[in-house]
Amino acid sequence: MTRVAFIGLGRMGHGMAGRYLDAGFTVAVWNRSRAKAEDLIARGAHWATSPEDAAIDADAVVTMVADDEASRAVWLGKDGAAANMKAGTLAIECSTVSHAHALEMARELTGRGLIYIDCPVTGLPSAAAEGKLTLLVGADAADLEKAEPFLKPLGSTIRHFGSVGTGTVFKLINNLMGAVQIASLAEGLAIAEQAGLDMKLVAEALSTGAVASPQVIRHSPRMAARDFSSASFTAALRHKDAAYAVALAETLLPGVPVSRAAVEAYEQAKAYAPDDDEGRLIEIVSQPKQGLDRLPHSRKMRWLSSRSATMTAPPEGSEHGTENLHRRRSWNDRSADPPAPAWPQRYRADLDRSGEAEGNLRPQGHHQPRRRRHPLPAR
């Protein structure tokens, strides 16, 4: 019987591994935490003690883990799958990883005589469990042909973009565009909310109008009703995908300002509620400006500056960025005054010197005057 090792049993991987059982493969599974494997074991999967253990004697190893770091760990880490795979075995990366990482894994694994293909997917966890994913493949044609029996249980739509890495390029632009659409939707809905529109009607009109992409159709009613039950794609994953996409874009294009703005929006959503539904971005964006207008000018400025500082000043995941977001979250209940900003230490001296004078709350050097790249032509 054909043997497959499946590594990573999260929301997506669990359903995908089940598909191989349904299709009659001999399946070895490994996940960092064993609990997620129990029902698959009850259905006939063999529990492996490590990725390496799972991969021994497998005809194909399929991975579906969170990100670059997790992927590196399960392929090349201590007890990683690559340690004991026989030459010619298929190494199928279904996780969404960065383009640079996909190419690095291809080099490492083909260097060991394995066949690496990148095969990120689109579709929700329900589609994963039903074998209805769309597979976005980067592989030589001959390698894809060998991999097809292992791809068919996962989904019947296979899009082959070219050589290794190209499936990942497409997946990243797809999810980056999703990030832009969802971030823009959050702002549009927030405007409607703060203007007092009937949000049920707004959501319905957006979902049936000219901007009704599948993302808008999915997220409009959920955001409007603040219904984030059964999260399928989290803020942390959306941020990861958009950031990987922008990293790729920066190697190819002079600038991607809209995409960068979406990454910043998801940086905030990730700091706010990393493992919750990506749609909770609306809770950060939809703030009552009228409430601010009732405040004394100095407090209003401090609040707005704290928002701006969180957007641009503290590095990702920094203590101060997170602190500001937690403060902002408590402001969401609208029962308290806006919280004072938590300034990064390096800005505090400037603030102390300025005495927090109105209009002088921005960290010095924060806003540099714009310089023209090229002098204007003489008239």
Q: Nearest to ligand NAP by Cβ — which residue? A: 10
Which residues are paired to 29 by β-bridges?
A: 6, 47
Binding piece for ligand NAP, criterion CB under 6 A, among 29-37, 104-112, 276-284, 319-327:
29-37
Other beta carbons within 10 angstroms of residue 365's beta carbon come to 8
Other beta carbons within 10 angstroms of residue 59's beta carbon come to 19
Residue 168 or residue 306: which is nearer to ligand NAP going by CB? 168
Of the candidate residues 11, 270, 302, 328, the single one contacting ligand NAP (CB under 6 A): 11
Residue 169 touching ligand NAP (CB under 6 A): no
Per-residue DSSP letters for 124-170? -HHHHHHT--EEEEES-HHHHHHHHHHHTTT-SEEEEEESTTHHHHH
The label of the residue with tokens 């021994």 reads 56
Of the candidate residues 82, 121, 144, 158, the single one contacting ligand NAP (CB under 6 A): 121
Site string for ligand NAP, 43-82 (x = CB under 6 A): ---------------------xxx--xx--xx--------
The answer to whether the CB of 256 falls within 8 A of the CB of 247 is: no
Shortest reach from residue 70's CB to ligand NAP, in Å = 3
Q: Which residues contact 37 (CB under 8 A, 6 or more apart)?
A: 9, 29, 30, 31, 45, 47
Site string for ligand NAP, 205-244 (x = CB under 6 A): ---------------------------xx---x---x---
The label of the residue with tokens 């405007």 reads 191
Parallel, antiparallel, or unpaired for β 157-162 and 90-93? unpaired
Shortest reach from residue 77's CB to ligand NAP, in Å = 8
Shortest reach from residue 107's CB to ligand NAP, in Å = 20
Residue 197 touching ligand NAP (CB under 6 A): no
Residue 78 or residue 289: which is nearer to ligand NAP going by CB? 78
Give start and end residues of each alpha helix (H) in 195-334.
199-208, 214-225, 235-250, 257-272, 281-285, 289-293, 297-312, 319-331
What gap in Å lies between CA 356 and CA 259, rounded to an integer? 34
Residues of the shown chain interacting with ligand NAP in the complex, contacts defined by CB under 6 A = 8-13, 31-33, 36, 64-66, 69-70, 73-74, 95-96, 121-122, 124-125, 232-233, 237, 241
